[in-house]
Chains A and B, each alone.
Chain A
C-alpha cells in the first residue's frame, strides 16, 4: 500500500487571545489527496486554527509545516498552492461575481487567465449569472463563488471553514458533491471544518475532533466511526425486569429515567431484543449510537 505524503503537519499549536487560551498545543497531520474533516463544537478552536493555517493570525507557539518544508514564516511561499474559504465567503457586493474573481486573481503572483476564470464559473455552476452583482446572489451561489475563488490558483490544498453554514438542504447537497469532485476529479486535498459530524462523515477520509483547543481524536473516518462498539438506549414496558435480563447476558446496564443504557457490540443487539421479546417485554424504542458519535454529541451538548 502506498504511503501518502504528509501535506500539512501542525505541532504544538497554541494561541492566546488575552488570557483566553484558544489553542492548547494542537497537533494534526493531513495527507495529500484526502478530505480532512476538522470536527468540533462551536468555540472549539477550529476557526482559530484555520486562520493560523492561512496566516490571518499568528500563533503564540507551535509549528505549521506545509508540503513537508514550508513553515509559517515563509507562508507566502505556500499560499500560492493553497485556496481557502474562511467562514462564510465574502465578496465586494457592488462587483459582479466575475469581477470579484478577477480582483482575487490579481493577488496571485502568476497571471490567472480569463479562460481559467470562465472554467471555474462553469465548474461551480454560476454560468449565466457571472456578470450579475454579488449582492443579488443567494447564499449558496456565494458559497460556490467562494469555491471558485479558492480554486483560482489551482491549489493543492483547499481549506474550507464551515462551508455548509447558512445553506439550504439543496445547497448543502450541491456543495458536498462539489467538494467530493474536487478531491476525486482534481486530486485536491481538502481540509474542511464543521461542527456537524454527519457532514464530516459523508465527505471526509480522515478527521480530527477538536475540543477546547486540543485534538481529542484523530484518524481515518471509517475507522473512527465504524467501530462495532455502540451505546444502546432502550425503552421497554418494564425497565427493572429488562435491566436484570440484559445484565444476565453479561452487559453493564445503567438505568436512566425512562431508558436503559448499555454498551455492546453491534451484532449483539438482535440477541438482546430476542431475549426481551421472549420474556414478553414490550420494546417501545431502541436506539444505538457509535461510541465516537456519542462522545461528540456529549461535547456539543456541553
Chain B
C-alpha cells in the first residue's frame, strides 16, 4: 500500500494543475494582507459604524489573527473548489488520459488503488491547508503582529484573547481538513463515475456553490433542508471562534462530515470494484 501511495503522490504532486490551487492561495493571501495593510482601518470602521455610537473599541483590531480569520473566512468557499480541481480529476483524469487502464493492469487491488487515491486527495487537502496555515497565519502574524481577535458573527461580536487563539486556529485548521476531506471524497466519488476530467470538478463546484448559496439565504423556506446540506456543517469551523465554544455542536458536525466522507468513499469503492474499464 505504501508503494502505491508513493506512486499516487508522485502523480498528484508533480502535476502542474496541483499548483494552481496553491498559487492562488499564495496570491490571495498576499492580496488580502496588502489590502489590510493599507486600508484595514477603513474596513473595520465601516463594519462598526452603527455599533460605534455608544461604545468605542480600543486596541489593535487589525492584527495577524484577524487577517488570518478573514482569510480563512474568505477562502472557505474557494478552498473546496481548489481541492476539487485536483481531487475531482484523480480517477476520471486518468481515465481520460488512458493511464487508468495501465495502473489497473498492475498487480494491485482496486480497493487499495482507490484507497491510495483517497489518501492522496486528503494529503493534497492537507498540503493546501498547511500552505494556507503558513501564509495566512504565519505571514499575517509576521506582518501585522498578534492581538485579540474580533469575530463578526451574524448575531454579534466575539472578542477572543490572543493567548487562546493559537489553539483555536489549530482546531479550525483540523476542522477545515475534515471539511476538505468531505469535498475531496465527494469529488473522488464523482470522478469514479466519470470518464472525463472536467465533469466531476464542475459537478463538485456546483454542489458546493448551490449548497452554500442556500445556506446563506436567511429564509425559513430552506430551514427543513439545512441539516442535510453538508456545506452547512463545513461552516462550523467558525464556531470555534465563539464564546463559549459549542463543542458538542462542532463535534457533531465534524462527525457528520466524517460520515459523509466515509459514505462517499464507500460508494466510490463499491462502484469502482465493479466498474469495467473500457475507455
A and B touch in the complex (CB under 8 A): yes
Q: What residues make up the interface of A, taking CB atoms closer than 8 Å to B? A: 17, 51, 54-58, 76-77, 79-80, 82, 84, 86-95, 99, 102-104, 106-109, 111, 149
Q: Check B6–A106 contact: CB distance below 8 A.
A: yes
Contacts A92-B97, A102-B10 hold; do A86 and B4 have CB atoms under 8 A apart? no
Cα distance A51–B42 in the bound complex, in angstroms:
65
Min CB distance B30 to A, Å, is: 26
Q: Check B107–A76 contact: CB distance below 8 A.
A: yes
Q: Check A104–B104 contact: CB distance below 8 A.
A: no
- With both beta carbons as reference points, the residue of chain A lying nearest to B101 in the complex is identified as A86
Any chain A CB within 8 A of the CB of B99?
A: yes
Q: Check A108–B106 contact: CB distance below 8 A.
A: yes
Any chain A CB within 8 A of the CB of B109?
A: yes
Q: Check B11–A51 contact: CB distance below 8 A.
A: no
Task: Give the residues in chain A near B277, CB-CB below 8 Å.
Answer: 51, 56-57
| For the complex of A and B, 7 pairs with smallest distance between CB atoms | A90-B98, A107-B106, A79-B107, A106-B7, A57-B276, A56-B277, A54-B105
Min CB distance A100 to B, Å, is: 9
Q: Check B15–A94 contact: CB distance below 8 A.
A: yes
Any chain A CB within 8 A of the CB of B14?
A: yes
Any chain A CB within 8 A of the CB of B3?
A: yes
Which of A55, A77, A106 lies in contact with B105, CB distance below 8 A? A55
Q: Check A94–B276 contact: CB distance below 8 A.
A: no
Min CB distance A157 to B, Å, is: 12
Task: Give the residues in chain A near B276, CB-CB below 8 Å.
Answer: 51, 56-58
Q: Check B108–A95 contact: CB distance below 8 A.
A: no
Given contacts A51-B277, A56-B278, 14 further A-B contacts (CB under 8 A): A56-B105, A76-B107, A77-B107, A86-B101, A87-B101, A92-B11, A94-B14, A94-B16, A95-B14, A102-B10, A103-B7, A107-B107, A107-B108, A108-B107
Q: What residues make up the interface of B, taking CB atoms closer than 8 Å to A? A: 3-4, 6-7, 10-11, 14-16, 97-99, 101-109, 274, 276-278
Min CB distance A56 to B, Å, is: 4
Task: Give the residues in chain B near A99, CB-CB below 8 Å.
Answer: 10, 14
Cα distance A76–B102 in the bound complex, in angstroms:
14
Q: For chain A, what secondary structure do more than half of its interface residues adopt (helix, strand, loop), or is it mixed?
A: loop
Task: Give the residues in chain A near B10, CB-CB below 8 Å.
Answer: 95, 99, 102-103, 106
Cα distance A99–B14 in the bound complex, in angstroms:
10
Cα distance A108–B278 in the bound complex, in angstroms:
23
Min CB distance B177 to A, Å, is: 26
- With both beta carbons as reference points, the residue of chain A lying nearest to B93 in the complex is identified as A92
Min CB distance B18 to A, Å, is: 10
Task: Give the residues in chain A near B4, CB-CB below 8 Å.
Answer: 106-107
Min CB distance B236 to A, Å, is: 37
Min CB distance B147 to A, Å, is: 44
Cα distance A136–B274 in the bound complex, in angstroms:
35
Which of A84, A88, A103, A108 lies in contact with B11, CB distance below 8 A? A103
Task: Give the residues in chain B near A54, CB-CB below 8 Å.
Answer: 104-105
Q: Check B16–A104 contact: CB distance below 8 A.
A: no
Task: Give the residues in chain A near B98, CB-CB below 8 Å.
Answer: 87-88, 90
Which of A93, A102, A103, A109 lies in contact with B107, CB distance below 8 A? A109
Task: Give the residues in chain A near B107, CB-CB below 8 Å.
Answer: 76-77, 79-80, 107-109
Which of B6, B14, B102, B109 lies in contact with A89, CB distance below 8 A? B102
- With both beta carbons as reference points, the residue of chain A lying nearest to B10 in the complex is identified as A103
Task: Give the residues in chain B near A107, CB-CB below 8 Å.
Answer: 3-4, 7, 103, 106-108
Contacts A92-B99, A103-B10, A107-B3 hold; do A57 and B278 have CB atoms under 8 A apart? yes
Q: Check A56–B14 contact: CB distance below 8 A.
A: no
Min CB distance B86 to A, Å, is: 13
Cα distance A91–B15 in the bound complex, in angstroms:
13
Min CB distance A159 to B, Å, is: 8
Min CB distance A147 to B, Å, is: 13
Contacts A90-B98, A92-B11 hold; do A56 and B6 have CB atoms under 8 A apart? no
Which of A77, A80, A82, A104 lies in contact with B102, CB distance below 8 A? A104
Min CB distance B16 to A, Å, is: 6
Cα distance A263–B64 in the bound complex, in angstroms:
93
Task: Give the residues in chain B near A91, CB-CB below 8 Å.
Answer: 99, 102
A-B contact pairs, 8 of them (CB 8 A): A51-B101, A79-B107, A80-B107, A90-B97, A95-B10, A104-B106, A106-B6, A108-B3
- With both beta carbons as reference points, the residue of chain A lying nearest to B7 in the complex is identified as A106
Cα distance A91–B4 in the bound complex, in angstroms:
16
Cα distance A57–B201 in the bound complex, in angstroms:
26
Which of B11, B14, B105, B274 lies in contact with A86, CB distance below 8 A? B105
Task: Give the residues in chain A near B97, CB-CB below 8 Å.
Answer: 90, 92-93
- With both beta carbons as reference points, the residue of chain B lying nearest to A85 in the complex is identified as B102
Min CB distance A166 to B, Å, is: 13
Cα distance A86–B101 in the bound complex, in angstroms:
7
Most A-side CB within 10 Å, residue of B10, B105, B277 = B105
Task: Give the residues in chain A near B278, CB-CB below 8 Å.
Answer: 17, 51, 56-57
- With both beta carbons as reference points, the residue of chain A lying nearest to B107 in the complex is identified as A79
Cα distance A95–B4 in the bound complex, in angstroms:
17
Cα distance A58–B276 in the bound complex, in angstroms:
7
Cα distance A88–B107 in the bound complex, in angstroms:
20
Cα distance A88–B99 in the bound complex, in angstroms:
10
Cα distance A76–B113 in the bound complex, in angstroms:
13
